[in-house]
């Protein structure tokens, strides 16, 4: 069993998933790290979480490959729905992180990254954004691909640069 504590640092391990992140045939790990907070923060305020990607080096040890501190909002940033981190999943050569929240207007984001072996990096592959009015049932969804957002590396990804999905 790998010791993930060495990568957690001064954070709380919110989630971890294992799988072949870099299509190498060796299992890596995706960690979602939550900064340790003092007291209770205000709704909509607080530090974002860090998504950390770990891959195996030639000797089989896990090492940090990339990280992103903009993708998963703070614990109080999901509105009335609560913590906006929903889940992550890893499959061969790719991973997905899902966030959601809101109150009357429930929103969700699904970010999928695929490993690009020539760049030895993960690129944004697909984004699904949705919003539903819980009272009226109105729903709107956006499915975005690289033709919409261009080439975007995992560590440079900022959801704020993508089009928002809003109800009329």
Is the residue at 38 inside a domain? yes
Answer yes or no: are the C-beta atoms of 155 and 113 closer than 8 Å.
no
* Confidence at 3, pLDDT banded by 50, 70, 90: confident
Instruction: Characterise 119 by phi-psi region: left (phi > 0), alpha (psi -120 to 50), beta (else).
Output: alpha
Q: Which domain holds residue 136?
A: 8-157
pLDDT digits (tens, 9 = 90+) for 107-144: 999 999 999 999 999 999 999 999 999 999 999 999 99
* Total count of domains within the chain: 1
CA pseudo-torsion sign 70, 3, 113, 14: negative
pLDDT digits (tens, 9 = 90+) for 146-160: 999 999 999 999 999
Quick one: pLDDT at residue 39? 55
Bridge partners (DSSP) listed for residue 48:
none
Quick one: pLDDT at residue 108? 97
Rounded mean pLDDT of 44-65?
Answer: 91
User: CA-to-CA distance for 157 and 7, rounded, in angstroms?
Assistant: 21
Is the residue at 113 inside a domain? yes
Pick 60 or 54 by higher pLDDT.
54
Is the residue at 65 inside a domain? yes
Is the residue at 121 inside a domain? yes
Is the residue at 131 inside a domain? yes
Residue 1 has pLDDT above 60, yes or no: no
Is the residue at 2 inside a domain? no
Quick one: pLDDT at residue 41? 65
Range scoring the smallest mean pLDDT among 33-42, 47-56, 88-97: 33-42
What is the value of pTM for the model shown?
0.93
* Confidence at 56, pLDDT banded by 50, 70, 90: very high
Percent of the chain at pLDDT > 70 equals 95
Quick one: pLDDT at residue 135? 95
Is the residue at 115 inside a domain? yes
Angle subtended at Cα 156 by Cα 34 and Cα 86, rounded to the nearest 5 degrees? 40
Is the residue at 162 inside a domain? no
């Amino acid at each position: 069993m790998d010791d993930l504590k060495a990568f957690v640092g001064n954070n709380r391990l919110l989630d971890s998933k294992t799988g072949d992140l870099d299509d190498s045939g060796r299992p890596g790990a995706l960690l979602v790290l939550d900064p340790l907070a003092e007291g209770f923060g205000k709704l909509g305020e607080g530090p974002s979480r860090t998504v950390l990607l770990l891959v195996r080096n030639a000797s089989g040890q896990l090492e940090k490959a990339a990280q992103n501190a903009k993708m998963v909002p703070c614990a109080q940033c999901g509105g009335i729905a609560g913590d906006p981190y929903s889940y992550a999943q890893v499959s061969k050569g790719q991973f997905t992180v899902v966030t959601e929240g809101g109150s009357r207007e429930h929103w969700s984001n699904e970010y999928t990254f695929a490993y690009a072996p020539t760049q030895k990096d993960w690129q944004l592959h697909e984004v699904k954004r949705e919003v539903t009015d819980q009272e009226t049932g109105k729903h709107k969804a956006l499915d975005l691909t690289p033709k919409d957002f261009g080439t975007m590396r995992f560590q440079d990804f900022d959801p704020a640069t993508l089009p928002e999905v809003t109800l009329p």
